[in-house]
């Protein structure tokens, strides 16, 4: 399949290792290809609903880090104050992510397969294009050609 996700201004993607980006891109390509082969609009709609509820890197960190910090505060009341430092470090790393758009915690979450909002949206638009929501996707050609056209259209 031709390259479709190369011109990204996504800070999470720009700072992630290329192996992680390729793994995530391959997953997106296989899902879009599967949907193109099936051609089932109802299944596409169900999958789009699933994508609507998928957490991105930012949301994962915004919820996860304060939870870790709160747990650190609660544990420091019963144990030593080292837990308080643990929570403080987690919050400092969240601050770094907020200021720069990327950080060590982002890399960790990204390595676990959590995608950026832009990547999730690209897949959603590609599936919507396959479903027929847009006119730019040709109906002729095989599933692979339609999947590739949908991914390219979603990028633009």
Tell me the HSE value of 45 on the side-chain side, using a 13 A CA sphere.
Answer: 5
Q: Is residue 98 part of a domain?
A: yes
Percent of the chain with pLDDT over 70: 91
**Per-residue pLDDT averaged across 130-156, rounded?**
76
Q: Is the pLDDT at 133 greater than 90, yes or no? A: no
| Phi, psi of 134, rounded to the nearest 5 degrees | -125, 160
33 Cβ neighbours under 8 A, 6+ residues apart: 1, 143, 144, 147
Q: Is residue 87 part of a domain?
A: yes
Question: Residue 140 has what pLDDT?
Answer: 72
User: Measuring CA to CA, which residue among 101, 23, 25, 13 is closest to residue 62?
Assistant: 101
Q: Is residue 143 part of a domain?
A: yes
Percent of the chain with pLDDT over 90: 45
Give residue-wise pLDDT tens across range 38-95.
Answer: 989 999 999 999 999 999 999 999 999 999 999 888 888 887 778 888 888 999 999 9
Question: Residue 148 has what pLDDT?
Answer: 79
Mean pLDDT for the chain overall: 86
| 151: containing domain | 17-155
**Per-residue pLDDT averaged across 92-105, rounded?**
88
Report the alpha-carbon distance of residue 151 to residue 130 in Å, rounded: 9
Task: Provide the number of structural domains found in the chain.
Answer: 1
Q: Is residue 70 part of a domain?
A: yes
Is pTM beyond 0.75? Reply is: yes
Longest CA span, the chain:
67
């Amino acid at each position: 399949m031709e390259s479709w996700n190369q011109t990204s201004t996504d800070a999470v993607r720009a700072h992630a290792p290329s192996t992680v980006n390729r793994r995530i891109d391959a997953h997106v390509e296989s899902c879009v290809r599967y949907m193109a082969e099936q051609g089932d609009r109802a299944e596409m709609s169900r999958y789009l609903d699933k994508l609507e509820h998928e957490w991105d890197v930012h949301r994962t960190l915004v919820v996860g880090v304060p939870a870790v910090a709160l747990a650190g505060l609660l544990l420091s009341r019963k144990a030593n104050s080292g837990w308080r430092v643990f929570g403080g470090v987690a919050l400092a790393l969240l601050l770094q992510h907020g200021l720069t758009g990327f950080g060590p915690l982002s890399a960790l979450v990204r390595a676990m397969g959590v995608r950026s909002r832009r990547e999730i949206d690209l897949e959603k638009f590609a599936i919507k294009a396959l479903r027929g929501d847009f006119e730019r996707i040709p109906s002729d050609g095989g599933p692979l050609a339609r999947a590739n056209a949908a991914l390219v259209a979603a990028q633009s």
